[in-house]
Chains A and B, each alone.
Chain A
């Protein structure tokens, strides 16, 4: 238990350091990229903008102050759970993000469910029937999934299931049916790597001595596969999952825009277009936070799958 708390503690420390570094870098990058939020704001307010107006706004938003000072103020705000307010809509950034976050998270989870539904059976088929037709089916599924760009797959799914067959809704997230197409698009895009990785690992595990021992004890095939072999093969998958969470949260944006999903994707694209710094900063902070938290979950899953790690020993 002590070690467990230690893991959590060290992750929290990592979280703080990572978020500080990340936010500082993005802060700097935003300042040096071309484009100017003040101009955007003046355009939004649609009046004959003068040089004086511009200077007044620069002062008001403290854009004339040194960068470090601006960053420091932002950090102090974050500590008080205040991410500032949008330069465009004038609403608190935290509210804007929290409003959109559930939609993005639920879509990501939907994608993961589809990923799981595709990758585990396909990986298992490929390994158990190595070199026979189910293996080829698994291989072709992976290859096809890897070759199709997700935006094109999304459009095709919309065309077939919504336009032609009229079975599923195209956009929005009103019902569970709305989840199906975007989740499938997301899951199919991620599945190939997992299918292949699981297959390779499972083939190796099935040849290991403890599987031979399980066979020699007379255990049933299914039992050996699911409660002995599969578990050992899941470890690298969990590792890869931990590494790809960032990519998932980024990749979800494309899908959101394609399906007009009311998530953070639209929010961040608009914020980038209009140089809405506080929103971009807030978004990066939240995504960074999510990545670290989900990696913590991955660490906990490791311990559950392979108790050896919990004792701080290397696997054999």
Chain B
């Protein structure tokens, strides 16, 4: 792929005791692409993301290549890698409460982050922060002056997304961003991410265990199972022509849903 943004070559991770956690991952994400990384918990999705960000615990052994815009992230110095974080590669976490330090106001943390990567005045950083908060549909002034615990889960998650997008990263990792949210807020968040992706041409790596979500939003899917990618390809292809037994199991578990829904709605449980 000529417009490749991130290429992962044979990435392996071992725990301190030598147990293999990732067994040779290969992956390619193009500019502006929405790629889903799907698999059950413990399959190595978040580990892959953390390896890309370089925030794995020190005792883990990482081998292979993670090429971002042609530079191998694993060969960068700690400081060079750090400067890419936030600015080039942003992440939104599942645990939205953990996205912000609990005893510092959100606005202050946004300014701190913006000013880490851009040489601008506090005032300009505040303007930028308020702008992105407004774009996510939040009451910008109030959120800006709030501590994380003063906002609802959906609001904190959206604030976290605005902070990440404020720096216009070229790649956004979304680590199960909707898991901790209710369905409505989850949809809102994904819609906003997709909009931002189209506007800024930023690639999105969507880590999820929700197959329906992956079908709906992604262009490409990577199915992970026990520390390896067992199948990947365009979403449509995976949906209708999957090969691997695990993918088949995964897909069939979703396909059984409509029947259930019919049965339950007949009993009046659902009122959709």
B217 within 8 A of partner (CB):
no
**Cβ–Cβ contact B98 & A308, under 8 A:** no
Distance to closest chain A CB from B104 (angstroms): 7
Tell me which of B91, B102, B149, B150 contacts A216 (CB under 8 A): B91
Known interface pairs A216-B86, A218-B82. Does A315 touch B102 (Cβ–Cβ under 8 Å)? yes
Contact residues on B (Cβ < 8 Å of other chain), bracket: 20 to 34
Q: How far is the CA of A210 from the CA of B150 in the complex (A)?
A: 16
**Cβ–Cβ contact A308 & B102, under 8 A:** yes
The B-contacting residues of A in range 291-316, CB under 8 angstroms, are: 305-308, 311, 313, 315-316
Distance to closest chain A CB from B95 (angstroms): 5
Q: How far is the CA of A209 from the CA of B84 in the complex (A)?
A: 20
**Cβ–Cβ contact A219 & B112, under 8 A:** yes
Known interface pairs A218-B83, A232-B102. Does A213 touch B93 (Cβ–Cβ under 8 Å)? yes
A39 within 8 A of partner (CB):
no
A-B interface pairs (CB < 8 A), number: 83
Known interface pairs A209-B93, A307-B147. Does A218 touch B86 (Cβ–Cβ under 8 Å)? yes
B97 within 8 A of partner (CB):
yes
**Cβ–Cβ contact B85 & A212, under 8 A:** no
Kindly supply a per-residue 1/0 record for chain A positions 209-229, scoring 1 wherever the CB is within 8 Å of any chain B CB and 0 otherwise: 111111111111101000110
**Cβ–Cβ contact B99 & A210, under 8 A:** yes
B66 within 8 A of partner (CB):
no
A59 within 8 A of partner (CB):
no
Distance to closest chain A CB from B108 (angstroms): 9
B255 within 8 A of partner (CB):
no
Q: How far is the CA of A215 from the CA of B95 in the complex (A)?
A: 15
**Cβ–Cβ contact B87 & A209, under 8 A:** no
Residues of B within 8 A of A313 (CB): 149
B100 within 8 A of partner (CB):
yes
Closest-by-CB residue of B relative to A310 is: B147
Residues of A within 8 A of B87 (CB): 218
**Cβ–Cβ contact A228 & B101, under 8 A:** yes
B103 within 8 A of partner (CB):
yes
The B-contacting residues of A in range 176-220, CB under 8 angstroms, are: 208-220
Residues of B within 8 A of A209 (CB): 93, 95, 97-99
**Cβ–Cβ contact A307 & B55, under 8 A:** no
Q: How far is the CA of A231 from the CA of B109 in the complex (A)?
A: 14
**Cβ–Cβ contact B98 & A217, under 8 A:** no
Residues of B within 8 A of A307 (CB): 103, 147
The A-contacting residues of B in range 59-100, CB under 8 angstroms, are: 82-87, 90-91, 93, 95, 97-100
**Cβ–Cβ contact B101 & A210, under 8 A:** yes
Q: How far is the CA of A213 from the CA of B95 in the complex (A)?
A: 10
Tell me which of A210, A211, A216, A306 contacts B85 (CB under 8 A): A216
A interface size (C-beta, 8 A):
27
Q: How far is the CA of A228 from the CA of B103 in the complex (A)?
A: 9
Kindly supply a per-residue 1/0 record for chain A positions 74-115, scoring 1 wherever the CB is within 8 Å of any chain B CB and 0 otherwise: 000000000000000000000000000000000000000000
The A-contacting residues of B in range 122-154, CB under 8 angstroms, are: 147, 149-150
The B-contacting residues of A in range 7-37, CB under 8 angstroms, are: none
B51 within 8 A of partner (CB):
no
B226 within 8 A of partner (CB):
no
Tell me which of A216, A221, A232 contacts B101 (CB under 8 A): A232
B265 within 8 A of partner (CB):
no
Tell me which of B102, B103, B116, B164 contacts A219 (CB under 8 A): B116
Residues of A within 8 A of B21 (CB): none
B117 within 8 A of partner (CB):
yes
Residues of A within 8 A of B102 (CB): 210, 232, 306, 308, 315-316
Which of B102, B147, B150, B164 has the most A CB atoms < 10 Å from its CB? B102
Distance to closest chain B CB from A95 (angstroms): 45
Q: How far is the CA of A307 from the CA of B53 in the complex (A)?
A: 31
Kindly supply a per-residue 1/0 record for chain A positions 57-77, scoring 1 wherever the CB is within 8 Å of any chain B CB and 0 otherwise: 000000000000000000000
Q: How far is the CA of A315 from the CA of B90 in the complex (A)?
A: 27
Which of A217, A232, A305 has the most B CB atoms < 10 Å from its CB? A217
B185 within 8 A of partner (CB):
no
Q: How far is the CA of A231 from the CA of B104 in the complex (A)?
A: 10
**Cβ–Cβ contact A308 & B103, under 8 A:** yes
Residues of A within 8 A of B93 (CB): 209, 212-213, 216
Chain A residues near B (Cβ < 8 Å): 208-221, 223, 227-228, 231-232, 305-308, 311, 313, 315-316
Q: What are 24 A-B interface contacts by the 8 Å CB criterion?
A: A209-B93, A209-B97, A210-B102, A211-B101, A213-B93, A213-B99, A213-B160, A215-B85, A216-B55, A217-B86, A217-B163, A217-B164, A218-B85, A218-B86, A218-B116, A219-B112, A220-B82, A223-B112, A227-B104, A232-B102, A307-B103, A307-B147, A311-B149, A311-B150
